[in-house]
Chain A
Amino acid sequence: MKTILIVDDEYDIVSTLQMIFSFEGYTVITAFHGAEALSKLTGPALPDLIVSDVTMPVLDGYAFVKALKKDAKVADIPIVLMSAAQLDNSRLEEGSYNLFIRKPFDVDRLLNDVKKILVSKHGNI
């Protein structure tokens, strides 16, 4: 089963997304900001997809994506960004993320999109 890394500084969002993805059969790991998420990407087992908030303390979503793309080991992991605000694309390199969703979002849409991204990368999941 595929593993999803969820990154958001809001405990309520992280815990609910964790519950939803677990319910759908995914393995879930969580982090409360970009720096904590990077620290969880140092081991041999890497997530298959990252769902990350944009506005976060310590290391925000923009800097987190930039750091991911610099590291060949994790640069290929698909990224779904989510935010209550508009995304500032001038702060992101083209093609550096796979999907952006505005909060509050429809969870079925998120699950379908995540599934599509994973299928296109790995075939059947």
Chain B
Amino acid sequence: MILTNEFIGANILVVDADAGDRKKFIELFRSDKKNHPNIKEASTNLEALTLISQSAYTHVFVGCNVALHTPDHLDSMKYELNSEAILIMLATPLNEKFASESLVQGFHDYMLKDSNLTFNSLIKTTARAKQVLKLESDLKTMSHALNSRNEFLSIAAHEFKTPLTAAKLKFQMGIKVLEKYASVEEHKLNGAEIVLKLFKDGDQQINKLTKLVDNLLDLSRLETDQLNLHCSDMDLVDLIAEVYERFSHQLKFAMCEAHFNLPSTLVGKWDKERLEQVVANLFSNIIRYAPNKPFFITAFKRNEDVVINVEDQGVGVPTAFHEKIFERYERVDSQGKNGLGLGLYITRAIVSAHGGRIHVENAETGGARFVITLPISR
């Protein structure tokens, strides 16, 4: 069986208290006459720690005589090591039980210092350890994904409860008003006006809940690639005006003054409902992240595309987050900011489904500029 030499170009550290064992073990690497990896040796964990702080090792072999005596130093060593480094214990047959337990302590595999220890067995063990390392890394990725999902569920539950609480309070207040005024003729009109307002407000809270549910449905559709577009001829300028009209009350409340620079029409073949979502998400972001400041919307035709710029003068998006904010559940600063963290993820998915692109850049004023490019016809 031909085995690939795992150690070509490798940076190896051998840590063992027994100088003879170290020498014998290092000799194994010389079996390959052509390729000699870079090998350093240490007799204690402390010595090993110093070497690890000076160089990035790809493979570290630790004798159980060292691992047994200074387990605390071993933890520090694991902490200092590059996350892609392979850690293998070298045990005597007498210490095999300890060696097998060492797998729980973060070693990727172990080898026995006996007559079966050859260059080939060394390569085989290292390959197996590499698989363990890969599994560990996959597990970390999955665990991170699971944590993100759990965090998202907790945020989602909180977000659902806010409009639920407000709606419940408004309807309960309506009942109170009806109970108090309905029986008294001269108060009936006054009571009816209050109840009408309460029920209208309650209806708005239910709309907010519906929007949250829609976002969750979009998320599950996106994860199964089911975002189907229904494109037809439409005017983007009309659409921006319609969405602006819908948001005008909230924008006024947040003191965000709109400045438009739009042509009279921008006709293309797009999914109107989905593009409404895109523009609405951008307006929501302005209210959330750039209150009390003006904002600017420009749109124009460029070759076969339409370009839309939405620029605010708010807190901006740090450059390190320019890509990250388009990922699921991501928000630059979640403290005190409401929302599921799905808006820009869904926005990008809709723009991409149209064959377009969206990115964010730093505006000269310190705020954020979202730039959308949409092909006119698909």
Q: Which residues of A come within 8 Å of B, CB atoms?
A: 9-10, 12-13, 16-17, 19-20, 23, 33, 55-58, 84-85, 103-108
Contacts and interface: CB of A to CB of B under 8 A. Distances in A.
Contact of B168 (A23, A33, A56, A104): A104
Given A20-B169, A33-B336, A106-B172, A10 B162 contact: yes
Interface in B158-173: 158, 161-166, 168-170, 172-173
Given A10-B162, A85-B158, A104-B165, A16 B173 contact: yes
Interface centre among A58, A85, A104 (most CB of B within 10 A): A104
Contacts of B161: 84, 103-104
Nearest to B157: A84
B183 interface: no
Interface residues of B, number: 23
Nearest to A84: B161
A106 B169 CA distance: 8
A1 B9 CA distance: 82
Where chain A touches its partner, the secondary structure class is loop
A64 B336 CA distance: 15
B355 to A, nearest CB: 39
A10 B336 CA distance: 10
A84 B162 contact: yes
Contacts of A10: 162, 165-166, 338
Given A13-B169, A16-B170, A23-B176, A84 B158 contact: yes
Contacts of B335: 57
A82 to B, nearest CB: 8
B201 interface: yes
B144 to A, nearest CB: 22
Nearest to A57: B336
B154 interface: yes
Contacts of A55: 158
Contacts of B158: 55, 84-85
Q: Which 3 A-B pairs have the closest CB atoms?
A: A57-B336, A84-B161, A12-B166
B49 interface: no
A110 to B, nearest CB: 9
B165 A23 contact: no
A104 B164 contact: yes
B165 A103 contact: yes
Contacts of A108: 172
